[in-house]
Amino acid sequence: MTGKPWYLQSGDEGEIVLSTRVRLARNLEEYPFPLRLDAAGCRRVCEAVSEALADDECFRMVNMEELSPAMAGSLAEKHLVSPEFAAERANRALLLSKDESVSIMLCEEDHIRLQVLHSGLALREALDAAQKIEGKLSGKLEFARDERIGYLTQCPSNLGTAMRASVMLHLPALTRMRQIPRLAQTVAKLGLTIRGAFGEGSTPAGDFYQLSNQITLGITSDAAIENLGAIAKQLIAQERASQKSLCEDIATRDAVFRALGILQNARILGSREFLQALSLVRMGAAQGLITVPMQTLNEQLIALLPATLNAANAGKLSPEERDVLRAEKAREAFADV
């Protein structure tokens, strides 16, 4: 599932699972945590990690300070970096693989935040890939580690495996049926958390969620992704059944096709409305009401988010111009649906 960025393809369980991410946190033994590290120290950490991967041609180094806000925001929208990393760019760098399946944030909360992003549900593959790169790094760098606890991290919540895996789920039916609060409680009891994947607020824009493991101590990474995978599959099954049942109702089909009508006709399209419409169209596509490839939906989802849209236009768009351009791009993308 690599070769192209995750958002330009659709993987396993792709109607519901957009992407899988595995993130490993590591810190270099010889440096203080980033919070207590000065600019020169950060620079040395960035250089050390970069050198450790120097014979790996697939990475390019991005000095975060040199990025425009739109470019940095776009990386966050693509989930290649954290929103915090995109917002606070001083003394930070990013190693990004050509196909964007591997992104290594340097001097984020930890010295190294190694992320592997695959399309669809691919926990095993993503963990394997992450561990392979981690192996390369650990051959050349000394990581802060405690024999008994495991890897040391700036925030105690990551101690141990320092591994967080997450799957990005599209749950329009469970959201409409107001099942998310109940599910959030249930998965919390199982050591997982679910939160909005885009934007803020109680109802995540576009009904996209991140389901991730919370526990990194006293559990192996293998057990953690198995647990996450099993629960993800349950949510997928529940969502699929809920979509089927909802779409039997003409009121849902009405909403789905009206949403398509908005994407095909609007001349001004705000990002929240766009995400709402895309979500309905995505459900319609998953249920066979509308014929549009999941790949196209993933591609447009990311391309029309504010920072990515702005970054593709030299970062010079006003919010009004952005909404007009988003409408234009959406019309082009969905004209033949």
Q: Are 164 and 158 in contact (CB under 8 A)?
A: yes
| Cβ atoms < 10 Å from Cβ of 86 | 23
> How many residues comprise the chain?
337
For the chain, the C-alpha Rg in angstroms (whole number) is 20
* Cβ at position 2, least distance to its own copies in Å: 37
From 40, 90, 251, 335, residue interacting with its own copies (rule: CB under 8 A): 251
Task: Give the interface size with its own copies as a residue count (CB under 8 A).
Answer: 16
SS3 for 117-181, per residue? Answer: EEECCCHHHHHHHHHHHHHHHHHHCCECEECCCEECCCCHHHCECCEEEEEEEECHHHHHCCCHH
Residue 133 binds to its own copies (criterion: CB under 8 A): no
Residue 31 binds to its own copies (criterion: CB under 8 A): no
Residue 262 binds to its own copies (criterion: CB under 8 A): yes
Residue 324 binds to its own copies (criterion: CB under 8 A): yes
Residue 270 binds to its own copies (criterion: CB under 8 A): no
Q: Give whichever of 261 and 293 is closer to its own copies, judged by the CB atom.
A: 261
Residue 332 binds to its own copies (criterion: CB under 8 A): no
Phi and psi angles of residue 169, each rounded to the nearest 5 degrees, phi first: -115, 140
Residue 245 binds to its own copies (criterion: CB under 8 A): no
Residue 90 binds to its own copies (criterion: CB under 8 A): no
CA distance 137 to 93: 16
Q: Give whichever of 42 and 260 is closer to its own copies, judged by the CB atom.
A: 260
Q: Give whichever of 232 and 260 is closer to its own copies, judged by the CB atom.
A: 260
From 36, 148, 189, 267, residue interacting with its own copies (rule: CB under 8 A): 267
Residue 325 binds to its own copies (criterion: CB under 8 A): no
Query: What residues have CB less than 8 Å from 88, skipping those under 6 apart?
Result: none
**Chain-centre distance of CA 172, in angstroms?**
18
Q: Where on the chain is the footprint of its own copies (CB under 8 A)?
A: 250-251, 253-254, 257-258, 260-262, 264-268, 324, 327
